[in-house]
A and B are shown apart, each in its own frame.
Chain A
Amino acid sequence: MFTFLVASALAASAASAGTPQTGPRAWREHDANGQCMYGHGYADSGRTEIVLIANRLVPPGHLGWGLKNDNWSIKAGDIIAEPITVRSGPISMSGNALAMDHRIMVIVPMEDVRKFAASNPAMVVVSRGNQLLTRLGVSGFSAGWAGFAGCLANADAERARQLKQEQEANPDIAVDPFAPTPSKPPH
């Protein structure tokens, strides 16, 4: 079960946003419609694309790895029962995934992606459980990371601004009504 419903969902917008504005071999960061993307396209038969996505659907502290391959028959609404793992050497990023047409989106902790970026990775292996899905060269990923990280920082600031507005407009509604009630200080 994905941790964030929608959360996961997130993945969401991948259906429309998952296409990086980039040609083969180039890692490019792209800020469009309030979401940050960082992706790469490949000139294989499936026209594979891999893209990191941060948007309102991705839970705070997480990023979405979107993978598209035109040869994959997966479609929106399919259930991916096993976790998807994106691995590079000792770094493993894993999470539950959502399905879209020819695409999957897996939500992983942002900290894992930061470690991945810092490792100057050359290749990733993507698997579903024990099944290998694809193996992709990712040279150049770390070189363009700073631009993407800047986009993430801007998005965080914008979210904080909007959250403040919402609280001011609806002071009778808790941001998280399910948060544990703080215990009263002793008298």
Chain B
Amino acid sequence: MKISHAVAALIVTAGIPAKAQTTMPWKAMEANGQCNYLKIFPDTGLTTVGFQPNAALDGKVFVVITNRNWSVAAGDQVIGPLIIQTAAVSAEGVPLAGPHLIGAAMPADMLARFVEADPRIVEFRLGSKLLTRLDFTGFKAGWTAFAACMDKRPATDITQKPLAKEHDMQDAPIAAKSLGN
């Protein structure tokens, strides 16, 4: 998967905050036939987090985080898993490396769980290594637009309902940590 192209397309389409201190809200957008939910953070790395339920991944959610300060490159061997966690919920997947980015396919229900948790502080880890800590305020508030995008997609593109809440939480093996949310 050319994740770097996908991410670049997302960012270009989404636009960026004009000023370093400007915070853009969570944004729902459709690109290349996929619905994406992303935010660009106003730090020096221009950290960008994107979520994309992907039919090609059996409905799993492809999570990608980019930071231009990171030296990670395509093909790098990264020791995972990539973990995204708040005080209440977490999800993880096998990491893929790209230029200045890490991505992973995560369980299909992870987005629904994060929305329900309405997270504020979210940490990304690669194994035990803390990659970054981000303020997800507004994640839930922007969700309606993303849900609308998913609703209007042709059913033939969706192999399974990617946002259906799964009762089996076996895919979330990381214990909730105290992050002070």
Contact = CB atoms under 8 A, between A and B. Distances in A.
Contacts of A162: 20, 43-44
Contacts, number: 121
B148 interface: no
A173 B132 contact: yes
B108 interface: no
Interface string B18-49: 11100000000001100000000001111010
A77 B13 contact: yes
Q: Classify chain A: how many residues form its interface, as a range.
A: 35 or more
A50 interface: no
Given A76-B9, A99-B12, A173-B132, A56 B44 contact: yes
Interface stretch (A11-19, A21-29, A82-90, A110-118): A11-19
A10 B2 CA distance: 17
Given A77-B32, A173-B131, A177-B131, A7 B12 contact: no
Contact of B126 (A2, A8, A17, A177): A177
A54 interface: no
A166 B43 contact: yes
Interface residues of B, number: 40
B44 A163 contact: yes
Question: Most A CB atoms within 10 A — which of B13, B48, B68?
Answer: B68
Interface of A: 1-9, 11-13, 15-17, 33-35, 55-57, 59, 76-77, 79, 98-100, 158-159, 162-163, 166, 170, 172-173, 175-179
Interface of B: 2, 4-5, 7-9, 11-13, 15-16, 18-20, 31-32, 43-46, 48, 66, 68-72, 74, 76, 78, 98-101, 126, 129-133
Given A7-B68, A57-B11, 15 more contacts: A2-B99, A4-B99, A5-B7, A8-B4, A9-B8, A15-B15, A17-B18, A34-B20, A56-B16, A77-B9, A162-B43, A166-B43, A170-B133, A175-B69, A177-B131
